[in-house]
């Protein structure tokens, strides 16, 4: 189990990851989704212990990453973004080296390396120098490096970037297979991939977690309209008139003329009503032949884009409101006499400071509370262990 608790990473004033929280259960395949620069890689790097978080805690299978890094790293297989490799080693030498680094026993090494090479399909090129491999193979070598040593947790940063379609399906199948007895975290900005492989999706944007849910739930959540595409043979162009007879129809829109006597339209209704039955009944009666009838389903892609734009407009509105407030206040200040203005400005500054103080104190207390809870939890666990020992 991986628990990420109130993790923040700051670079100077820039906040790369902002107070994120989530839990990942054992043997679960989870996808990190987000546009470039959202903080996916940073979060992954923090889980692997490569980067230290500025604030917060990451617990992997009961070990704290910053306190017990060795024990955590033993359980993690990490495939970094952009597949860094030692170019002057051969494939086999590289996997051997990674096995050595991960304390694979010497007796089992040969067998395990063979198995990993076979799993990722590298047996045929194992004696080639990594420098001479194509991008797809390099990706697999990186994957082999992550898999060796049987880690319980796999963290894959964009595992299918730059592969050809055949390779992509192969890697996806492999990940799906691994997901049965491994905890897998993978990041991607290809949405269809995530919805295919992952049981849950964590959507990140600008360092914040926007949603944690299953792909199908996300799709449902953002389905606010029922869209239907029909292709009809409509010689007399009556469709607009007839469509108006349908109850609950919101709008009808002409999409394109297919130049073979058929035309495509889009009909929109509320989320709760399904128009298909009615269309199917009504149109043929009025000499409109239906050639195709299709319900459009909202994809994860739409959900993703909607979610991101939603949050962004929210943030923008907030900003706008604040700016308006400021402008108003300034106007007020301008109307005042000089003396009053000075005092008012002073008061404003005081207020801001007071607010900052309050916020800081609140944060501080929260942190303390959290630490206390954590300590108590540890105490209880220890007590339980002691009791068990006595029995």
Longest dimension (CA), the chain: 89
x/- mask, other proteins, residues 72-91, rule CB under 8 A, reads -xx-x-x-x-x-xxxxxx--
Q: Which window, 65-73, 208-216, 301-309, 325-333, contacts other proteins (CB under 8 A)? A: 65-73
Which is it for strands 225-233 and 29-33: parallel, antiparallel or unpaired? unpaired
Considering only 71-79, 115-123, 176-184, 349-357, which stretch makes contact with other proteins by CB under 8 A? 71-79
Of 215, 182, 222, 221, whose CA–CA distance to 200 is shortest?
215
What the block records as the tokens of 181 is: 């007895």
Closest alpha carbon to 160 in 145, 140, 184: 140
Report the nearest approach of other proteins to the CB of residue 86 (Å). 6
Q: Least distance from C-beta 74 to other proteins, angstroms? A: 4
Among 34, 49, 159, 215, interactor with other proteins by CB under 8 A: 49
- Of how many residues is the chain composed? 391
| Cβ(233)–Cβ(262) below 8 Å | yes
Q: Count CB atoms within 10 A of the CB of residue 2.
A: 23
C-beta of 98 vs 228, nearer to other proteins: 98
Q: Which of 377, 46, 176 is nearest to 168 (CA)?
A: 176
As measured in angstroms, the least distance from the Cβ of 152 to other proteins is 13
DSSP symbol at 63:
E
Binding residue for other proteins, selected from 4, 20, 38, 48, defined by CB under 8 A: 48
Q: Does 97 bind other proteins (CB under 8 A)?
A: yes
Q: Smallest distance, Å, CB 14 to other proteins?
A: 13
Residue 284 — φ and ψ, nearest 5°? Answer: -60, -30
Contact track, other proteins, 98-117, x by CB under 8 A: x-xxxx--------------
Helix (H) or strand (E) holding 363: helix 338-390
Nearer Cβ to other proteins (42/231): 42
Which residues here bind other proteins, judged by CB under 8 A? 45, 48-52, 54, 69-71, 73-74, 76, 78, 80, 82, 84-89, 97-98, 100-103, 145
């Amino acid at each position: 189990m991986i628990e990420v608790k109130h993790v923040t990473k700051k670079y100077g004033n820039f906040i790369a990851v902002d107070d994120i929280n989530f839990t990942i259960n054992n043997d679960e395949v989870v996808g990190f989704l987000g546009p470039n620069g959202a903080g996916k890689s940073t979060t992954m790097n923090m889980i692997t212990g490569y980067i230290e978080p500025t604030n917060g805690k990451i617990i992997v299978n009961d070990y704290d990453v910053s306190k017990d890094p060795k024990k955590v790293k033993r359980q993690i297989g990490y495939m970094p973004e952009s597949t860094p490799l030692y170019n002057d080693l051969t494939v086999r030498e590289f996997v051997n080296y990674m096995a050595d680094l991960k304390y694979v026993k010497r007796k089992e090494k040969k067998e395990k390396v063979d198995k990993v090479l076979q799993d990722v399909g590298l047996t045929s090129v194992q004696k080639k120098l990594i420098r001479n491999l194509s991008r797809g193979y390099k990706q697999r070598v990186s994957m082999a490096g992550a898999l060796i040593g049987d880690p319980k947790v796999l963290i894959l940063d964009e595992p299918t970037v730059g592969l050809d379609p055949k390779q992509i399906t192969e890697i996806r199948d492999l990940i799906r297979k691994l997901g049965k007895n491994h905890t897998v975290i993978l990041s991607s900005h290809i949405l269809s991939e995530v919805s295919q492989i992952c049981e849950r999706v964590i959507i990140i944007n600008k360092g914040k977690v926007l949603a944690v849910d299953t792909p199908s739930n996300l799709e449902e959540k953002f389905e606010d309209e029922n869209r239907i595409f029909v292709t009809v043979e409509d010689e007399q162009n009556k469709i607009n008139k007839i469509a108006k007879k349908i109850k609950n129809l919101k709008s009808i829109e002409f999409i394109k003329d297919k130049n073979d006597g058929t035309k495509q339209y889009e009909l929109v209704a509320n989320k709760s009503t399904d128009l298909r039955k009615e269309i199917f009944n009504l149109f043929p009666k009025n000499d409109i032949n239906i050639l195709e009838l299709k319900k459009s389903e909202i994809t994860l892609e739409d959900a993703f884009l909607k979610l991101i734009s939603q949050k962004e407009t929210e943030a923008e509105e907030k900003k706008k409101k604040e700016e308006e407030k400021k402008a108003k206040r300034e106007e007020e200040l301008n109307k005042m006499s000089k003396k009053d203005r000075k005092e008012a400005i002073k008061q404003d500054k005081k207020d801001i400071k007071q607010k900052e103080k309050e916020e800081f104190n609140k944060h501080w207390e929260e942190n303390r509370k959290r630490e206390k809870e954590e300590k108590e939890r540890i105490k209880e666990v220890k007590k339980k262990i002691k009791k068990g020992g006595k029995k």
